[in-house]
């Protein structure tokens, strides 16, 4: 009995450590870039807060900014690529659409839209108006 339990523990403990390391790695790769709470919108362009040049890079909005817990990534509202303050490249959103209560997790299938200098050029179903990417973070300029 003791040998069986020891053998099971020898297999389980390294497996759990490997799972945690893998999960942290996948989460880090998926949520690279900046959180939407660090962005602001002015005159139709997105800026990193406090910067004078429009934002270029990857950003994401999570359900709870920067809070995912010990063993899981936070639910994601959207993830997008920007160039010169405009959507440019891939925009990922939940299959259910875009909204405050609609999220996806890393590895889940998403709707994908492709943008070129702020214009949608391909991808999922029509969004109607361009999505509001940084709600509540607009500067009054």
Give the model confidence (pLDDT) of 87-134 as tens digits.
999 999 888 877 777 888 877 888 888 999 998 888 776 655 445 455
Categorize the per-residue pLDDT at 2 as very low, low, confident or very high, splitting at 50, 70 and 90.
low
Q: In the prediction, which pLDDT does 14 show? A: 63
Domain boundaries, the chain: 31-123
How many C-beta neighbours within 10 Å does residue 130 have? 15
Query: What order do you get walking across the sheet with 110-116 strand by strand?
Result: 34-35, 57-62, 76-83, 86-94, 110-116, 119-123
- Tens of pLDDT, residues 123-141: 776 655 445 455 444 444 4
Give the integer Cα–Cα distance in Å for 91 and 123: 9
Q: Which token pair is 88?
A: 């440019």
Could you report the per-residue pLDDT of 32-79, keeping only the tens digit for each? 889 898 999 999 899 999 999 999 999 998 876 555 555 567 888 889
The alpha carbon of 39 is separated from its chain's Cα centroid by a whole number of angstroms, namely: 14
The enclosing H or E element of 19 equals: helix 2-30
- Checking if the pLDDT of 24 tops 50, the result is yes
DSSP H helical segments within 31-141, as ranges?
none
């Amino acid at each position: 009995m003791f040998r069986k339990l020891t053998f099971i523990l020898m297999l389980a403990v390294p497996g759990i450590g490997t799972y945690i390391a893998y999960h942290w790695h996948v989460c880090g790769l998926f949520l690279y870039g900046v959180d939407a709470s660090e962005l602001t919108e002015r005159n139709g362009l997105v800026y990193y807060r406090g910067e004078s040049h429009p934002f270029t890079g990857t950003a994401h909005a999570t359900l709870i900014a920067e809070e995912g817990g010990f063993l899981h990534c936070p639910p994601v509202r959207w993830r997008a690529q920007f160039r010169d303050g405009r959507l440019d490249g891939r925009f990922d959103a939940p299959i259910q659409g875009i909204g405050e209560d609609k999220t996806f997790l890393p590895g889940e299938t998403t709707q994908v839209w492709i943008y070129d200098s702020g214009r949608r050029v391909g991808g999922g179903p029509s969004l109607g108006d361009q999505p509001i990417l940084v709600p509540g973070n607009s500067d009054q300029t």
